[in-house]
Structure 1
Amino acid sequence: MKASKSYTSRYQRDKIRNYLANEAIIIDVRSKNEWKSGHIESSFHIEMASVPYQINMIKAQDKPVIAVCVSGVRSGEIVQYLLAQGIDAINGGSWQNVQELMQEE
């Protein structure tokens, strides 16, 4: 079995796959410079500090959310916020991890 670059557990990878199959939106909470260095084409770029100001837009999507960043720390914090707002969300960890899973499809 190929080792994941982000060391995401098999359970978490399966959960991400399930969310992708259910048309989850991907929110990338990295900085503008990090985003410019590479990102998932279909993702929404909303810097971490801006997420509370974009909550209505996120809710309007009416879809589950996969949050990503560089390592999963910032996206993990955002997932806790989204869950508190009643949004079905999971931490995708690194954006490269989620991109890799998307390419498996």
Structure 2
Amino acid sequence: MFRFFKSLFGNRTRPDYVALLAAGAIVIDVRTPEEYRMGHIQQSVNIPLQTLSHKMGELAKKKKVIITVCRSGSRSGMAKNMLQRAGLEAYNGGAWTSFQQYTK
């Protein structure tokens, strides 16, 4: 019975973001450049969601885990799905303001 619910709702455990970052994961902020300029995680890279598909090859060459962030977690969730469909290991870090606790 448990497997049924797990398959329905997926694994809801949060990745160990501190360990992923320590191992070299890349943080991609998928907000607009204007939003990014208003505040962002220091080591993040700004790749707006609407341009992410054009950067897939470049990201794949890096062979790094990718953590996506945005304002609320919605766009970063879409970005994570796009990256995973392209065969990359990606996680949705959610809102950048909440995620920055893992970067200190």
Query: Which range, TM-score by smaller chain?
Result: 0.7 to 0.9
**Cα root mean square deviation, aligned:** 1.2
* % identity of equivalent residues: 34
Deviation by residue 1:24-74 (Cα, 9 ceiling, x = unmatched): 000000011110100112111000000000111111111000000011000
CA positional deviation for 1:19: 1.6
Q: Which aligned runs of 4 or more in structure 1 are off by greater than 6 angstroms?
A: none
Greater RCO structure (CA 8 Å; 6+ sep): 1
**Separation of aligned partners in 2, 1:61 and 1:52:** 15
CA positional deviation for 1:21: 2.3
Aligned equivalent of 2:55: 54
> Can you give the 5+ residue segments of structure 2 that lack an aligned partner in the other structure?
1-12
> Can you give the 5+ residue segments of structure 1 that lack an aligned partner in the other structure?
1-10
**Separation of aligned partners in 1, 2:98 and 2:59:** 22
| Number of equivalenced pairs | 92
Aligned equivalent of 1:4: none
**Separation of aligned partners in 2, 1:16 and 1:71:** 17
